[in-house]
Chain A
């Protein structure tokens, strides 16, 4: 994993894990790597991984069982919600950048329709 954008590393790892949860790559109830495992895998300070897991827990996307580890939430609605949140944030970015390019809403819809038909 490359940490090359301008955000703190714990946020970049959070986003990465959220994406894995949203896409179903990490299924509900699955155990995450231990702090030490992920720390070694990503070559990131263990305290940073700890922070990542704490923040994910605060957002109720994962839960910790004492002595067992950290697990992905089993709440399907929650998983659908992050999926939707991530999709809408992508769409928002897309629309903003298209507007910056001077496209109106109708033009944007047309471009998308064309592209979808083309595929």
Chain B
């Protein structure tokens, strides 16, 4: 299968801080890929570069064969690790905002996901709990018919019920034509969803592979492997 993301010798430097250091990665189409690492390991920088909203300092990245730009943004649906909606909005406004902004936004799907998440269009963004916020953000991002979904910490800080709904939504909306890249430091809750995992430590890819093969080879779950690597 073709690579949806190809990254060569990619580095990102902020003043003196190296966020990413010579990263090499290929991500195949149709996979759910977990990028694992503690806070500050470079996950968010990598996600932003893939999403096309941050430029690398050195190296090369291709999304579906293209250098990041308007054409790749049209096929990449990005969930940032913080809120991106205006506080004065209602959910209905947020839906319309996305509909205006993205050609591939599927309003029917958004309504389906909203009801699955127990949210409704009349709710005010300002009044949403943390878990509801995450559920709304994910609803918006998954309602695009994108080739690549880039989800930065979709389950951080949400309660177990909301987390399960988020995982369900991710699995239900996955299909072989799309690819999902998901960052997390909460490995245990989500590891069974991944095809592949990539361990990022201080900006360097220190281990990557098929999740089931790693479990077999290392004789442990990915969560235990994570604790061994970062603990």
Contact = CB atoms under 8 A, between A and B. Distances in A.
B29 to A, nearest CB: 13
Interface of B: 32, 164, 167-168, 171-172, 174, 192-195, 211-213, 215-216, 219-221
B215 A44 contact: no
Interface string A1-22: 0011111111000000000000
Contact of A8 (B32, B174, B216): B216
Contact of B215 (A6, A36, A43, A45): A6
A42 B195 contact: no
A83 interface: no
A4 B191 CA distance: 11
- The majority secondary structure among interface residues of chain B is helix
A47 B195 contact: yes
Given A39-B171, A43-B164, A7 B192 contact: no
Given A6-B221, A9-B192, A40 B215 contact: no
B193 A10 contact: no
A51 interface: yes
Nearest to A47: B195
A54 interface: no
A28 interface: no
15 contacts: A6-B215, A6-B219, A7-B216, A8-B213, A8-B216, A36-B172, A40-B168, A40-B171, A42-B192, A43-B164, A43-B168, A45-B171, A46-B174, A48-B212, A51-B212
Contact of B171 (A3, A5, A7, A43): A43
Interface of A: 3-10, 36, 39-40, 42-48, 51
Contact of B193 (A7, A8, A45): A45
A48 B171 contact: no
Nearest to B175: A46
Contacts of B168: 40, 43
A43 B164 CA distance: 8
A119 B164 CA distance: 42
A7 B164 CA distance: 23
